């Protein structure tokens, strides 16, 4: 098949070169964005008199016919036409004749692909924001149902202090809130139009970039044509934002793997979201959570991959930049898959309140509260800490928990202890006592829940 750029060549391209340089196998993902950009471009060309209004209309009709074929899965893409731009231009010429060849006036594939990527990133960033919100809703619902559910909070994966399960879940709510904030902020930089930059230096045609920006709903145009065609910062930024989302997803997934283990038994995942073992009939594996955790690797890889592609590239466009696509496409798919599953997994999991409660009773996670008790009675905290440490040691040696010791034993360590120490050390009181702003006391959690709800509503109004 004749190349759209064949004029300068006397030989046909080596087959392997065709295959090696073609991007159509994956950039067909951008078919709709490519047509959307072309529709706006030719509209502007018609308005500016670069092509006649009639030619513009004919081209737009042709593009819409192709769009319909793309949507119906009837478009046939070919490696001979290398990439999405030339495939669609070829289809257009086949559809409406030589006038289709006027579409590419005043633009280059360099500003075209940059525009496609901007349109793609904007669409997908909004999808990811919505999916993050679904997860936030699921976390919020579980949190509301578990304000009074007590479990050990951990540091170093050692039992530290009793906390509310709602508090633990809400920690993830706020991570995803920051993730959403980053994505929302990135839209400012995505919403800038490269088209009109031409190959690198601008164009000799009397185009109107602002008009194209308006038609495509961009807030601004790139002020420098060389930057416009060689910038992929917004893709790197999306990969970085997605990497951080994966960090958060992976941490939550790890906790779900731990919690659903025989050792913890804090939650049970719904059968619909677990898988079995081909050999061990008793098993119910948290495969989805594990994969969620595991897929973090490929997303980090794509981030480092693109950073490496871009590093040291001279201005302006270089073919290397075609390597921006598969990584971000895979990243978006990976995140869509993960977030779509996480919301229902959270919604359907069973919280084993009794097991959590039992864990808190059989540990020393109320020790800080003994030290706090003494400190409130005037003993310097450092001394109170020392006394309590000795008591923990004594209790362990006597195979007891702190609530099993009697007042006499308490008084042997310090005369400041009174009967009320036993009330203070009960898990719910230990939890309730953490009344400081952002603490795990139920009263503080209620405030947090309200704030979380307000945030979700605010985002919806924007």
Indicate the residue among 30 and 169 with the shorter CB distance to ligand ARG: 30
Q: 114 vs 131, which CB is nearer to ligand ARG? A: 114
Cα 360 to Cα 13, 136, 143, 149, 166: the distances in Å are: 71, 27, 19, 11, 15
Which of the residues are catalytic?
Answer: 156, 277
The single residue listed with the structure tokens 């020393």 is 364
∠ CA 100-103-106, nearest 5°, is 150
CB distance 340 to 131 below 8 Å: yes
Nearer to ligand ARG, 120 or 317 (CB): 317
* Residue 86 or 430 with smaller CB distance to ligand ARG: 86
| Residue 117 Cβ vs ligand ARG, minimum distance, rounded to whole Å | 8
Residue 17 CB, shortest distance to ligand ARG, in Å, is 13
Question: Based on CB atoms, which residue is closest to ligand ARG, 83 or 241?
Answer: 83
Q: How far is the CB of 359 from ligand ARG (least distance, A)?
A: 54
Q: State the nearest-atom distance from the C-beta of 74 to ligand ARG, in Å.
A: 23
Shortest distance (Å) from residue 60 CB to ligand ARG = 22
C-alpha distances out from residue 166 to 140, 169, 191, 193, Å: 8, 5, 37, 44
Give contact residues for ligand ARG (rule: CB under 6 A).
23, 27, 83, 109-110, 113, 317, 319, 321-322
């Amino acid at each position: 098949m004749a190349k759209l750029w064949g004029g300068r060549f006397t030989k046909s391209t080596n087959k392997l070169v065709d295959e090696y340089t073609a991007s159509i196998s994956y950039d067909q993902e951008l078919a709709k964005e490519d047509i959307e950009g072309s529709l706006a471009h030719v509209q502007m060309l018609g308005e500016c008199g670069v092509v006649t209004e009639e030619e513009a209309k004919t081209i737009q009709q042709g593009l819409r016919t192709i769009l319909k074929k793309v949507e119906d899965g009837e478009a046939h893409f070919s490696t001979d036409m290398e990439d999405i731009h030339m495939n669609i231009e070829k289809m257009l010429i086949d559809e409406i004749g030589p006038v289709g060849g006027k579409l590419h006036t005043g633009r280059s594939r360099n500003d075209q692909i940059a525009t496609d990527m901007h349109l793609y990133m904007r669409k997908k960033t909004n999808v990811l924001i919505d999916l993050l919100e679904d997860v936030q809703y699921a976390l919020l619902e579980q949190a509301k149902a578990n304000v009074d559910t007590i479990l050990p909070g951990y540091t170093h994966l050692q039992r530290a202090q009793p906390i509310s399960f709602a508090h633990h879940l809400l920690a993830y709510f706020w991570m995803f809130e920051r993730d959403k904030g980053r994505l929302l902020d990135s839209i400012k930089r995505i919403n800038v139009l490269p088209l009109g930059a031409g190959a690198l230096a601008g164009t000799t045609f009397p185009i109107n970039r602002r008009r194209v920006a308006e038609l495509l709903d961009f807030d601004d145009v790139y002020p420098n044509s060389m930057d416009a065609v060689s910038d992929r910062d917004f893709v790197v930024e999306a990969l970085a934002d997605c990497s951080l989302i994966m960090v958060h997803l992976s941490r939550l997934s790890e906790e779900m793997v731990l919690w659903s283990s025989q050792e913890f038994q804090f939650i049970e995942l719904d059968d619909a979201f677990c898988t079995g073992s081909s050999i061990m009939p008793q098993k119910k594996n948290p495969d989805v959570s594990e994969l969620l955790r595991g897929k973090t690797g490929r997303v980090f890889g794509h981030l480092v991959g693109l950073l490496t592609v871009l590093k040291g590239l001279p201005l302006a466009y270089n073919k290397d930049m075609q390597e921006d696509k598969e990584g971000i496409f895979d990243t978006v798919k990976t995140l869509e898959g993960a977030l779509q599953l996480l919301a229902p997994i959270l919604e359907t999991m069973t919280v084993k309140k009794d097991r959590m409660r039992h864990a808190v009773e059989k540990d020393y996670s109320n020790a800080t509260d003994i030290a706090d008790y003494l400190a409130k009675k005037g003993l310097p905290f450092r001394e109170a800490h020392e006394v309590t440490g000795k008591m923990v040691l004594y209790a362990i040696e006597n195979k007891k928990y702190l609530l099993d010791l009697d007042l006499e034993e308490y008084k042997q360590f310090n005369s400041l202890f009174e009967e009320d120490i036993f009330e203070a050390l009960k898990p719910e009181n230990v939890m309730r006592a953490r009344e400081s702003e952002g603490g795990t006391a139920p009263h503080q959690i209620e405030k947090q829940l309200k704030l979380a709800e307000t945030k979700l509503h605010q985002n919806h109004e924007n």
